[in-house]
Chain A
Amino acid sequence: MTNPVLEAIRTRRMVRALTDAPVPREQVELILKAVRWAPSAGNRRLHRYVAIQDPVTLRLLRMVSPGMFQRPRAVIAICIDGGRAQSFGMSPTARSLYIDVGTSAQTMLLAAHSIGLGAGVVTSFSRAAVSVVLNLPSGFSPEMFICLGFPAARQPPAMRPRTPVTWESLSQWERFP
């Protein structure tokens, strides 16, 4: 019997080419509902998500995001609430803040995949410019975009690893020899 969770993890890909079809708001909401359950260090919930569907805002985001090759029909920006982090006595560079950007991202990527949406991450953007475009409150820092849309039939070639990767090549038992 196939394990649907493992199957979703195995078959998810970064989708870089999207169709022009709009993404229904309900589907974006499903992804936001999923990320509410993402692992969060100490359950502190120091991240906020901004969902963008307005075509003008999407266009502006793309202008200040050199890494955004796709033309997403929706974007969810993962932001760190620096002020809230500080209230817990955390440094703005605390590792857990950025690790939890990753847990949010993976949760949303899998959620998108499970409902038939294509999703890809973008981190190459100007934090300063994006903060202005999204009118982020002081202390908020945008860290990653999840770009959403319906996958195009033809995708650009994937970035292949420099050397072949297997689970064994990435893992050690107990300790390094």
Chain B
Amino acid sequence: MESTMVLTEDEALDLLAFLVTAARTQLDEAAEYGPLRLLAAAGRLAEFMAARASPATRQFLAGPLRALPDAALRSVDPGKYATELDTVCRAVGEHLVSHFDGGAR
């Protein structure tokens, strides 16, 4: 399958720096920040990818992936937060199947 480069070197460095420094800051911070940091990284990646991704992936980034639960919900209603994350995870799975398998399954 033909694949397109969706990140510039600057964007990749931005994300790399975020991930490495987040690993360090997480050693000292509340455990509940863990998912928040991962989602922030996903958000940055999605933002970088949007301009160069395929139309279907772009649609996914602009649609289901934008439905990430707000961080504030984590402290107020952890159950709902998990449920909303599951919804996004299902959408990720559906897009992966469609992207890699052409929806053949």
B33 engages A124 (CB within 8 Å): yes
Q: A95 on the interface (CB 8 Å rule)?
A: no
Q: Contact: B72 with A66, CB < 8 Å?
A: no
Instruction: Given the known inter-chain contacts A66-B18, A66-B40, please indicate yes or no for A160 contacting B72, CB distance below 8 A.
Output: yes
Closest to A159 in B: B72
Determine the main DSSP class of A at the interface with B: loop
Interface positions of B from 20 to 61, Cβ below 8 Å from A:
20-22, 24-25, 29, 33, 37, 40-41
Q: Which residues of the other chain, A, contact B41 by a CB distance below 8 angstroms? A: 66
Cβ of A125 under 8 Å from chain B:
yes
The residue on A at minimum CB distance from B74 is A159
| A66-B22, A69-B40, A162-B75 known; A157-B17 Cβ under 8 A | no
**A66 and B13: CB pair below 8 A?**
no
How far is the CB of A154 from the nearest CB of chain B, in Å? 13
**Interface pair B21/A125, CB less than 8 Å apart:** yes
Instruction: Count contacts on B: residues with CB < 8 A to the other chain.
Output: 20
Q: Which applies to chain B's interface (DSSP): helix, strand, loop or mixed?
A: helix
Please tell me if A158 contacts chain B, counting CB pairs below 8 Å: yes
B1 adjacent to chain A (CB < 8 Å): no
Task: List B contacts of A126 (CB < 8 A).
Answer: 20-21, 24-25
A59 to B44, CA, bound (A): 13
CA distance A31 to B33 in the complex (A): 30
**Chain A hits for B70, CB < 8 A:** 156-157
Contact A159 B71 (CB under 8 A): yes
Q: 1/0 per residue A110-139: CB within 8 Å of B?
A: 000000000000001110110000000000
CA distance A59 to B41 in the complex (A): 15
For the complex, give the distance between the alpha carbons of A62 and B13 in Å.
12
Given contacts A69-B40, A157-B70, A160-B72, contact A63 B25 (CB under 8 A): no
**Which of these, B13, B40, B73, contacts A63 with CB under 8 Å?**
B13
Binding site for B on A (CB under 8 A): 59, 63-67, 69, 124-126, 128-129, 156-160, 162
6 contacts between A and B (CB under 8 A): A65-B21, A67-B25, A126-B24, A129-B21, A156-B71, A162-B76
Residues in chain B within 8 A of chain A (CB atoms):
13-14, 17-18, 20-22, 24-25, 29, 33, 37, 40-41, 70-73, 75-76
19 further contact pairs, Cβ within 8 A, besides A129-B17, A156-B70, A160-B76: A63-B13, A63-B21, A64-B17, A65-B21, A66-B21, A66-B22, A66-B25, A66-B37, A66-B41, A69-B40, A124-B22, A124-B25, A125-B21, A126-B21, A157-B70, A157-B72, A160-B72, A160-B75, A162-B76
